[in-house]
């Protein structure tokens, strides 16, 4: 949770020079932490083999110290962080499977009483509620970008510790570009583009929101611009169906790379792509969702996530606002340049500002009208678009996302037990998984490294020997409650310790990734005993991929599982309730999001009763 220190807020980047660099942990320390994280996941014989592999790996005559030496050299030469480029490439840009579900994240925002939902919206038609809410959101987004350009967004602090603000430079005017083998990200800071990208009926529109002198349009003008944009696309489509080039952003990255290379051979297409790439952010006006879907929240969040077959989105934009013709609103964000909590902070503030009147400004003169972005699409590109649409539809159809909400208690009650709310939920999740499956699973919890210069994230490996012991104890009907609670406290203490270590740059996964990418030959790969061991892969097969987005008062978010037989768990610990989402791949014979959600509900209920009993019998 970010807070501000007392006194006048500091300028956005005022603390950057104070931030320490991310350390390279000692090899032996990371391997010791790794071994501890593996122990609950493997058998005794497997663990003995893993210990031998790890012990050999760190010997002075073996490869481990060589890789560590190379990584230290990378650190010495890196301008900001040894991890920055490694993480960007390995976690994101080299990923070739479709990023629109596997990388992008989504959120459904709370409804705005100023824009009552339209329950009878006509399919294929915009509504005044949709346009009005979009115009207000756009206005506040533009205000935010201007404040960021002027460095007037207060520097984030965690208690009295400054946090890196570099990611804020990548919020606006940012787009991921497909390239062979490794994509690139383009952006501009300060972000001074004068237009946004509007998606409507699967078509792209350049919508100016500043005049040529840089004066911003007022909300009335933005409203008019959106109406004009929809009218011009409607007129364009009357002349015949236009290919949806945007759909390519939902495809396999190699398919999109091939299609973009073909598009770029045409000068007009290069100009069109430049308009998309440089736009400040995307705004998707959805009108092709069945009206009854607006009352089905889980169906609605699926639309914000993948829009069926990836329609009406340019998924490579860093931020897209999605407004349905019912008035429902959400976002879809490309994860590569910015972590979810960083983008979420700005979006939450925009959501807060949305509740209330907009400060009116003088209309700007000579505002250029919206222009549909035209494409010259060859038969080969059209063929790839059709393929992408089929593939994207199949991928979207395989994903299920369910929402959960425990309204019995929240962070406030958890704190009365004297424990961390985040640790509480993570330990409860471990207990629920063990209760459901009878065994543990490798677990990923995202932890911020923004205490360090250009820091991104580290993994908290939340499946521990202590959480497994508690899961077994909690499932044992014959064990006295007092003993179960003792196991619970031990599991909580370990989770808190791991969380603190990860935030301090003393995790496992990022250091091991840094070492692994230093391997230079196949012969070295064969001698990297730690990475050759089967337990290494098992420990990284995260059956639970989790992220805390507390407090989550204004939005509900989610993401896809990271393995075929896993769950994606996004959660928010509000004052009086616990909100979460559970995602799964329907093709998995192992997962059942609905059944697992019920087990998690039951576990949270039982934990509450145990906690109340403990408080009343101290």
pLDDT value at residue 2: 45
All domains of the chain in start order, with CATH: 16-82+407-616 (3.30.559.10), 88-150+174-400 (3.30.559.70)
pLDDT value at residue 8: 60
| Marked catalytic residue, from 335, 439, 454, 617 | 335
E strand or H helix at 402: strand 399-406
pLDDT value at residue 280: 98
Catalytic status, residue 140: no
pLDDT value at residue 4: 38
Return the residue matching tokens 């533009």.
Answer: 142
CA dist 30 and 510 (Å) reads: 10
For 344-390, how does the pLDDT look when each residue is reduced to its tens digit (9 = 90+)? 889 989 988 998 888 889 999 999 999 999 999 999 999 999 999 99
Q: What share of the chain is helix, strand, coil (3-state, %, to 5)?
A: 50, 15, 35
Return the residue matching tokens 């100016």.
Answer: 208
**Cα Rg, the chain, nearest whole Å:** 25
CA dist 98 and 100 (Å) reads: 6
Return the residue matching tokens 């065994």.
Answer: 439
pLDDT value at residue 296: 59
pLDDT value at residue 294: 42
For 7-35, how does the pLDDT look when each residue is reduced to its tens digit (9 = 90+)? 467 899 999 999 999 999 999 999 999 99
- Indicate the Cα dihedral angle 596, 567, 293, 389, nearest 10°: -150
310: region left, alpha or beta (phi > 0 left; psi from -120 to 50 alpha): left
- Segments in 39-195 forming alpha helices (H): 44-57, 63-77, 84-87, 99-102, 128-149
CA dist 243 and 587 (Å) reads: 31
CA dist 164 and 174 (Å) reads: 19
pLDDT value at residue 295: 44
pTM for this predicted structure: 0.94
Comparing CA positions, the residue from 452, 515, 512 lying closest to residue 73 is 515
pLDDT value at residue 307: 87
CA dist 325 and 312 (Å) reads: 13
CA dist 285 and 206 (Å) reads: 14
Please compute, for residue 173, the number of CA atoms within 13 A of its CA located in the half-sphere on the CB side.
18
Sheet holding 195-200: strands in order across?
371-372, 203-208, 195-200, 282-286, 319-324, 329-333, 105-109, 555-558
CA dist 500 and 421 (Å) reads: 14
CA dist 277 and 174 (Å) reads: 7
pLDDT value at residue 554: 77
Give the residues of the chain that fall short of pLDDT 50.
1-7, 291-295
């Amino acid at each position: 949770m970010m807070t501000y220190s007392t006194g006048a807020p500091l300028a956005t980047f005022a603390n950057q020079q104070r931030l320490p660099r991310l350390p390279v942990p000692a090899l032996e320390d990371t391997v010791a932490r790794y071994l501890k994280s593996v122990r609950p996941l493997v058998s005794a014989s497997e663990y003995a083999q893993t210990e031998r592999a790890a012990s050999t790996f760190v010997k002075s005559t073996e490869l481990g110290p060589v890789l560590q030496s190379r990584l230290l050299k990378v650190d010495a030469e890196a301008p900001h962080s040894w991890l920055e480029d490694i993480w960007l490439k390995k976690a994101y840009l080299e990923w070739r499977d479709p990023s629109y579900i596997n990388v992008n994240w989504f959120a459904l925002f709370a409804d705005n009483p100023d824009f009552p939902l339209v329950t009878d919206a006509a399919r294929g038609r915009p509504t005044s509620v949709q346009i009005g809410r979009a115009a207000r959101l756009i206005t506040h987004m533009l205000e935010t970008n201007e404040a960021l350009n002027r460095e007037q967004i207060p520097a984030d602090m965690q208690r009295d510790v400054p946090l890196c603000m570099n990611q804020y430079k990548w919020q606006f005017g940012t787009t991921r570009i497909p390239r062979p083998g490794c994509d690139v990200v383009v952006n501009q800071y300060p972000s001074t583009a004068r237009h946004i990208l509007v998606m409507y009926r699967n078509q792209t529109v350049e919508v100016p929101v500043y005049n040529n002198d840089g004066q911003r349009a007022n909300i009335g003008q933005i409203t008019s611009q959106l109406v004009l944009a929809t009218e011009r696309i409607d007129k364009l489509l009357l002349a015949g169906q236009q290919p949806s080039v945007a759909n390519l952003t939902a495809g396999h990255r190699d398919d999109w790379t091939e299609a973009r290379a073909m598009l770029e051979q045409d000068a007009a297409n290069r100009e069109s792509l430049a308009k998309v790439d440089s736009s400040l952010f995307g705004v998707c006006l959805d009108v092709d969702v069945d009206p009854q879907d607006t009352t089905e929240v889980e169906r609605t969040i699926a639309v914000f996530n993948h829009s069926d077959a990836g329609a009406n989105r340019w998924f490579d934009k860093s931020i897209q606002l999605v407004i349905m013709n019912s008035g429902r609103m959400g976002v879809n964000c490309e994860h590569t340049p910015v972590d979810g909590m960083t983008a979420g902070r700005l979006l939450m503030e925009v959501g807060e500002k949305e509740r209330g009147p907009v400060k009116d400004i003088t209309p700007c003169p000579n505002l250029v009208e919206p222009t549909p972005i035209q494409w010259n699409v060859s038969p080969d590109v059209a063929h790839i678009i059709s393929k992408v649409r089929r593939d994207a539809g199949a991928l979207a159809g395989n994903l299920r996302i369910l929402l959960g909400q425990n309204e019995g208690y929240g962070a406030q009650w958890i704190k009365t037990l004297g424990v961390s709310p985040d640790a509480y939920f993570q330990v409860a999740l471990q207990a629920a998984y063990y209760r459901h499956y009878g065994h543990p699973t490798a677990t990923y919890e995202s932890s911020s490294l923004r205490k360090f210069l250009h820091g991104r994230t580290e993994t908290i490996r939340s499946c521990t020997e202590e959480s497994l012991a508690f899961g077994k104890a909690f499932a044992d009907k014959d064990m006295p409650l007092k003993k179960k609670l003792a196991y619970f406290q031990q599991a909580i203490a370990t989770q808190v310790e791991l969380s603190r270590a990860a935030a301090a740059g003393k995790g496992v996964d990022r250091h091991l990734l840094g070492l692994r990418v230093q391997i230079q030959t196949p012969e070295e790969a064969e001698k990297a005993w730690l990475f050759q061991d089967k337990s290494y892969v098992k420990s990284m097969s995260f059956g639970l991929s989790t992220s805390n987005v507390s407090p989550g008062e204004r939005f509900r978010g989610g993401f896809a599982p990271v393995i075929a037989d896993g769950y994606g768990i996004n959660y928010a610990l509000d004052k009086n309730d616990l909100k979460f989402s559970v995602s799964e791949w329907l093709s998995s014979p192992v997962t059942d999001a609905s059944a697992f959600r019920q087990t998690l509900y039951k576990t949270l209920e039982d934990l509450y009763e145990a906690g109340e009993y403990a408080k009343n019998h101290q």
